[in-house]
Structure 1
Amino acid sequence: MKKSTILFMLFISTALVFTSCKKDEEQSEKERVTVLLTSGKWYYQSFNTSRCFNEDSYWEFKSDGSVIDTWGFEGNSRNLTYTVSEDGKSITLISTAANSSTNTYNLTITSINASELKFSINYSSGTSDNVVLAKTALDCVPF
């Protein structure tokens, strides 16, 4: 009886050790990209060949799936919604106009890290724009 109790306790102890040593689940690529996107404002560094931007030209991704795109020295902006693909390699943007019409934009992420985001915007016409955003704003004055 004593032997079976000891064996039972040994079995329970071993089971507890194995279940308590589970590895923490790794963050998915979608989660990693979303965390980086929502870490604050992303300032324009270049849009195709344009490189003259200031602190009023930025994208701000929110954790609720919304994004604000602000550009130009006049402070033009638009509100969009976004979703990150499961593999973290693309972003779908949806813009809804005042007349309720929608435009969808597909962004292909070239690279993303804590300080820089590079992507191309692919349009249904077959054209694309290359964009570089960073965590620091440029200080450019148009001439």
Structure 2
Amino acid sequence: MKTQRIIPFLFAALLLVFTSCDKDDEDKEPSRSDLLTTGLWTGSSVYIQGQDISQLLRDSANFDVRQLSTRFDKNGEYRETFGRTIVGTWEFVNNEQEILFDKGTNQAYTVKINKLNATELYYEQEIDGLPFEFRFSH
């Protein structure tokens, strides 16, 4: 009689072990597209050659990067807001190391991704011959 009571528990335990061993989905890293398109990116700082120039830009150019935000959609559209909203297209280029904005237009430009994870996006854009690194966070 005791054996009949134990068999259902053993079966349940074996079932639990075999179903919990398949962790492929849990261990899978999110794609760069998934990371980029998971919410609103808000500007946090601007760097040139390792120096944070955010305050300098606020004081001298009236540019507060904290007022800049961008949302990337999986359909290849982006919305950038800084006082007003600009809508355009984006796509990865160069083995997903760069983002090409507004391909095929006279406003097209490319940025180099320096860092992209679940909470941070850093990209570098050349402006007037200088490499500006814009840092964003969620």
- Please tell me the TM-score bracket, short chain as reference: 0.5 to 0.7
3-state DSSP of counterpart to 1:35:
helix
Are the equivalent residues in 1 in contact too, given 2:92–2:100 (CA < 8 A)? yes
Distance in 2 (CA, whole Å) between partners of 1:78 and 1:47 is 20
3-state DSSP of counterpart to 1:103:
coil
Distance in 1 (CA, whole Å) between partners of 2:123 and 2:65 is 17
- The one-letter amino acid paired with 1:66 is E
- The one-letter amino acid paired with 1:77 is T
Structure 1 unaligned regions, length at least 5: 1-22, 136-143
Q: Report the counterpart of residue 7 of structure 1 in structure 2.
A: none
Q: Report the counterpart of residue 89 of structure 1 in structure 2.
A: 97
Distance in 2 (CA, whole Å) between partners of 1:46 and 1:58 is 12
Are the equivalent residues in 2 in contact too, given 1:59–1:67 (CA < 8 A)? yes
Compared CA separation, residues 131 and 44, structure 1 to 2 (3 A): same
Aligned residues: 101
| 1:115 counterpart (85, 105, 119) | 119
TM-score, length-scaled by structure 2: 0.60
- The one-letter amino acid paired with 2:136 is L
Distance in 1 (CA, whole Å) between partners of 2:65 and 2:129 is 26
Percent identity, aligned pairs only, is 21
Q: Report the RMSD for the aligned CA atoms in angstroms.
A: 2.9
3-state DSSP of counterpart to 2:108:
strand
Q: Report the counterpart of residue 57 of structure 1 in structure 2.
A: 68
Compared CA separation, residues 120 and 86, structure 1 to 2 (3 A): closer
State the Cα distance separating 1:95 from its structure 2 match: 7.2
TM-score, length-scaled by structure 1: 0.58
State the Cα distance separating 1:118 from its structure 2 match: 0.5
Structure 2 unaligned regions, length at least 5: 1-23, 48-52, 56-63
- The one-letter amino acid paired with 1:104 is A
| Residues 69-96 of structure 1: CA deviation (Å, up to 9, x unaligned) | 112xxx2221121011262211101178
